[in-house]
Amino acid sequence: MDWAIISNVIFDSLKDSAWLFLFLLLTYILLEYIEHKNGSKSLNLIGKSGKLGAAIGAVSGIVPQCGFAAAAANFYAARAISVGTLLAVFLTTSDEMLPIMVSNAVEPMIIIKILGIKLVLGMTIGILCDVVLNSKPQTVNIEPLCEDAACHCAGEGIFKPALFHAIKITVFVMLVTFALNAVIAVWGEHCLSEMVLNRPIAGVAAAGLIGLVPNCSASVIITQLWLEGAINFGAMLAGLLSGAGAGLLVLFKVNKNRKENFKIVAILYFSAVATGGLINILQINL
């Protein structure tokens, strides 16, 4: 038994969960405040922006932390944002991509181009989904979240139920994260690179699947493989577009409509793979 690997897995899991906890706590405090302050008439700030919700969501997702994707999942479950806004956040979220590229001295213009592609695609897919599905924010309703958590938080103020929700979701995510980190540590990046190396179409599909792994490690692996030349630009982009980090994990935890969740995953995945495949077919590179 390699204790060094185990200690690294535990450290990475705790680190990811600590950041996520802060985002979740702020998210639930805001949701509790909105409902307590203005009742059923209030909408989330992004929700109030109407058709611009997807655009604002896409810009928010650019921030290099998966906490925004987790927060968006909670907002969606509370019906404070539309499905298009949620998808915009998911598509633009890059988790650890930006810090890794900066630390590897990647040219600023290349980073800007990658972020620009993700931003434009996130806005486009988000707006199209809202138009086609006629999706729009509704009145904020955190009761489903309370029922799912069985917190019995009525009359408990704002902070206590928010803390309860944040701890419950963080523990759930931490356990799954630990399991995923353990698998990745044992399996290694080499096996993952074999799945996508020199495979223009199948490689993009495989990279998109890796991106769907609900863990910040997915973006680390995809970015590192691209930096090492193990995968092409299209595969890298597909993996980063489909990667919503802990956002997908939180979505399935807090949103009871599983059919709806799988539709969101399908749109996310096929949008990412189609974009990466088109880039490879057109032989676009940076």
DSSP calls for the chain? --HHHHHHHHHHHHHHHHHHHHHHHHHHHHHHHHHHHHGGG---HHHHTGGGHHHHHHHHHTSS-THHHHHHHHHHHTTSS-HHHHHHHHHH--TTHHHHHHHTT--HHHHHHHHHHHHHHHHHHHHHHHHHTT--------HHHHHHHT---TTSTTHHHHHHHHHHHHHHHHHHHHHHHHHHHHH-HHHHHHHHTT-TTHHHHHHHHHHTSSSTHHHHHHHHHHHTTSS-HHHHHHHHHH--THHHHHHHHH---HHHHHHHHHHHHHHHHHHHHHHHHTT---
* pLDDT score of 192: 57
Buried b / exposed e across 114-152, counting CB within 10 Å, b at 16+? bbebbbebbbbbbbebbeeeebbbebbebeebbebbebe
Give the residue among 132, 137, 67, 88 at the shortest CA–CA distance from 271.
Answer: 88
Phi/psi of residue 21, nearest 5 degrees: -60, -40
Cβ atoms of residues 65 and 19 within 8 Å: yes
pLDDT score for 238: 93
Note down pLDDT in tens along the chain; length 286 residues. 456 666 766 776 677 677 778 877 886 777 667 555 544 443 445 555 556 778 888 887 776 555 678 888 888 888 788 899 999 999 998 767 877 787 678 899 999 999 999 999 999 999 998 888 776 655 555 555 555 544 445 455 677 777 877 787 677 767 766 776 676 666 655 565 565 555 667 789 988 988 888 766 678 778 877 887 778 899 999 999 998 877 898 899 888 889 999 999 999 999 999 999 999 888 877 7
Reported pTM? 0.72
Q: Domain count of the chain?
A: 1
- Residue 104, in any domain of the structure: yes
Q: Which residues contact 174 (CB under 8 A, 6 or more apart)?
A: 13, 14, 16, 17
286 part of a folded domain: no
Q: Is residue 31 part of a domain?
A: yes
pLDDT value of position 1: 46
Q: Which domain holds residue 41?
A: 3-281
- For residue 95, being part of any structural domain is answered with yes
- Are the C-beta atoms of 242 and 269 separated by less than 8 Å? yes
Sign of the CA dihedral 232, 127, 45, 259? Answer: negative
User: Which of 138, 117, 115, 119 is CA-nearest to residue 57?
Assistant: 119
